[in-house]
Amino acid sequence: MQLLKYLYFLTHVCALVFNNKYYVSSKHPQNDLRVLSAAQSSSISRIWYNKIMTNFFDAYSRKNVNPMDIARDFKHSPYNHIISHINTLESLFNTPKKDKYLYMGWMPKEIDTNEQNEVLSLVVCEKNERDLCLTCIVPNPCWTSTAISYKELKKSLLSLEDSSQILNVTHFFEDSRNIRLKLDWFF
């Protein structure tokens, strides 16, 4: 039975084609965040990784191109930052502290169907006594900010704060790879 639930999760929650889909935050933004297991987060990130790599190499499959040129082009790919975040996420799975992390999927409602079927971003926070330290955000490669703003993700994350814990983003934004989010959240 759990295998069927897991397969349903992978086929419905991890859909990778967003054809003109638009999303809206819930009345209570914390409801847009779903707690995931490390295994579910890993499966989703691998699906996204495979989608990126397949799309990238399919573009070169019909051409006779030097492999070094392909590697150079990938370095400047618009998906390079997502691959970098997927690598960060995968490295968290291999640490002894992997159980101290809170893995979540950001799943706001689709406007037309009012359903929460797609994970738009994977979010990882380290759980401490007094705070949640934002560690990693991996955006879905098929999602764009025209569908829903990253500021809505910020609202969802900030809604997790209460009198006993705060969201700490200091170390997350010190990482230069997160400049896109920093600009989007603060300007």
pLDDT, tens only, 76-89:
778 888 999 999 99
State the pLDDT at residue 49: 93
Mean pLDDT of 18-35: 87
State the pLDDT at residue 89: 94
Q: 13 pLDDT band (50/70/90 cuts)? A: very low
> Which secondary structure element, helix H or strand E, spans residue 76, and what is its range?
none
Neighbouring residues of 132: CB distance < 8 A, sequence distance ≥ 6: 102, 125, 126, 160, 165, 166, 167, 168
Q: Residue 162 forms beta bridges with which residues?
A: 165
Q: 5 pLDDT band (50/70/90 cuts)? A: very low
Residue 108 per-residue DSSP state:
P
Whether 47 has a pLDDT exceeding 60, the answer reads yes
Domains of the chain: 22-186 (3.40.630)
CA-closest candidate to residue 186, choices 147, 144, 158: 158
Q: 138 pLDDT band (50/70/90 cuts)? A: very high
State the pLDDT at residue 19: 60
Q: Look at the block and give the residue holding tokens 């400047």.
A: 76
Greater model confidence, 184 or 15? 184
Cβ atoms of 83 and 52 within 8 Å: the answer is yes
CA-closest candidate to residue 171, choices 105, 126, 104: 126
Alpha helices for the chain (secondary structure H):
2-8, 38-61, 67-75, 80-93, 150-158, 170-174, 179-186
**How far is it, in rounded angstroms, from Cα 185 to Cα 180?**
9
**How far is it, in rounded angstroms, from Cα 123 to Cα 187?**
21
State the pLDDT at residue 32: 95
